Amino acid sequence: MVSETSDAQGGEQTALALKILVAGGFGVGKTTLVGAVSEIRPLRTEELLSEAGQLVDDTDGVDQKVTTTVAMDFGRITIRSGLSLYLFGTPGQDRFWFLWDELSQGALGAVVLADTRRLEDCFPAVDYFEHRHIPFVVAVNCFTGARTYGAQDVSRALDLDRGTPVVLCDARDRDSGKEVLIRLVEYAGRMHTARLLDSVG
């Protein structure tokens, strides 16, 4: 999405707004990340976990979680003058994946949040973006008490394509989340440029 605003000299200054998805497994910190970095009050579509949901929502390892996103989270952050990111947090459970195709339309790239205690939960998100050729970074949310693994270890465990960035982060911390987003924008920019050059080569 591109919009133009006039500057003081009467010229045109282009302001760029990019769409970013924040994905990952159930309870990995997607809503927390969007809320931490957003400069506006984030839109959330959370509902209380119910007894009926216990049959389909695996809360093992996230026992303290009492709500879940049922549609999406939305936030906005300005990275620098003229560049803003619109953040769309996806729901983590399988039964809400029908929303992913709609949310991914027009996205520059995605952040796949991972929890090393439940690393397998982010496999579906990794597969989704790899098969659709949407650039993504894996951001390992470093939960208190969880064993720390290096980026290379996580990359091997997820069998990521060569060059896919893996970064460690704290989803609660604005600066940490912003660094993840900057890394994604840089990586996605390189990927899109390479594809453009390939298409005209």
Of 9-18, 33-42, 107-116, 141-150, which range is least confident?
9-18
| pLDDT, tens digit (0-9, with 9 covering 90-100), for 73-131 | 999 999 989 999 999 998 876 666 678 898 899 999 999 999 999 999 999 999 999 99
Instruction: Provide CB contacts within 8 A for 125, sequence distance 6+.
Output: 23, 24, 25, 90, 110, 112, 136
Spatial separation of the C-alpha atoms in residues 88 and 91, rounded to whole Å? 10
pLDDT of 144 reads 85
- 15-47+66-197 folds as Rossmann fold (3.40.50)
For residue 57, report the phi and psi dihedrals to the nearest 5 degrees.
Answer: -100, 115
Largest separation between any pair of C-alpha atoms in the chain = 62
Average pLDDT rounded to a whole number, residues 34-56:
69
Positive/negative CA dihedral, 43, 113, 148, 191: negative
